[in-house]
Chains A and B, each alone.
Chain A
Amino acid sequence: MQNALLIGLSRQMTLERQMDVIANNVANANTNGFKADHSLFEEYLNSNAHEDNFVGSDRRVSYVQDRGTYRDVGQGPMEATNNPLDMAISGNAFFAVQVNGAERYTRDGKFALSSTGQLITSDGNLVLGTSGPIVFQPTDHDINVAPDGTVTVLEGTAKTDSIRGKIRMVTFDDPAKLTKLGANLYGAGSANQQADAKSTLQQGYIEKSNVNSVGEMSRMVEVMRSYTAIANLLQQQSDLHKSAIEKLADVPA
Chain B
Amino acid sequence: MQALHTAATGMAAQELNVQVISNNIANLRTTGFKKQTAAFQDLIYEHIRRVGAQASDQGTILPVGVDIGGGVKTVGTPRSMTQGTLSQTGNDLDLAISGEGFFKILMPDGTFQYTRDGTFQMDNQGRVVTAGGNPVQPTITIPNNASGITVNEQGQVSVTLPGSSSNTVLGQIGVTRFINKAGLQPVGSNQFIETTSSGTPQDGIANSEGYGKITQGSLEQANVDVVSEMSDLIAAQRAYEMNAKVISAADQMMQSTTALFR
Contact = CB atoms under 8 A, between A and B. Distances in A.
A132 interface: no
A112 B253 contact: no
Contacts of B38: 30
Interface string A69-90: 1100000000001110100000
Nearest to A155: B210
A184 B2 contact: no
Nearest to B2: A20
Nearest to B239: A29
Contacts of A190: 52
Please report whether the interface of chain A is mostly helix, strand, loop or mixed according to DSSP.
Answer: mixed
Nearest to B261: A238
A228 B236 contact: no
Contacts of B112: none
Contacts of B82: 82-83
A138 B76 contact: no
Interface residues of B, number: 75
Contacts, number: 228
Given A23-B6, A110-B39, A231-B260, A28 B72 contact: yes
Contacts of B250: 19, 23
Interface in A19-54: 19-24, 26-32, 34, 37, 39-40
Interface string B228-262: 00000001101100110110011011001101110
B210 A156 contact: yes
A195 interface: no
Contacts of A112: 78, 180, 182-183
A220 interface: yes
A232 B174 CA distance: 75
Interface in B39-89: 39-45, 47-49, 51-52, 62-72, 75-76, 78, 80-82
Contact-residue bracket for chain A: 35 or more
A217 interface: yes
Interface string A101-114: 00000001010111
A163 B64 CA distance: 40
Contact of B67 (A37, A221, A232): A37
Nearest to A121: B75
Contacts of A189: 51-52
Interface in A205-238: 213, 216-217, 220-221, 223-224, 227-228, 231-232, 234-235, 238
Most buried by B among A23, A31, A66, A182: A23
A115 B41 contact: no
A17 interface: yes
A67 interface: yes
B197 A115 contact: yes
Given A22-B246, A66-B49, A140-B210, A182 B182 contact: no
B41 A67 contact: no
Contact of A117 (B40, B48, B199, B209): B199
Interface string B81-101: 110000000000000000110
A138 B69 CA distance: 40
Interface in B1-39: 1-4, 6-7, 9-10, 13-14, 17, 37-39
A216 B48 contact: no
B210 A24 contact: no
Contacts of A39: 66
B67 A179 contact: yes
A34 B42 contact: yes
A82 B83 CA distance: 10
A30 B71 contact: no
A26 B245 CA distance: 10
Nearest to B242: A26
A231 B249 contact: no
A217 B42 contact: no
Contact of B68 (A12, A17, A29): A17
Most buried by A among B62, B63, B67: B67
26 contacts: A15-B253, A19-B1, A19-B249, A20-B1, A23-B2, A23-B6, A26-B242, A27-B6, A30-B13, A30-B17, A31-B72, A69-B65, A82-B80, A108-B39, A112-B182, A112-B183, A115-B179, A115-B197, A122-B41, A140-B210, A141-B100, A176-B51, A183-B75, A220-B246, A223-B253, A227-B256
Interface of B: 1-4, 6-7, 9-10, 13-14, 17, 37-45, 47-49, 51-52, 62-72, 75-76, 78, 80-82, 99-100, 177, 179-180, 182-183, 196-200, 202, 208-210, 235-236, 238-239, 242-243, 245-246, 249-250, 252-253, 256-257, 259-261
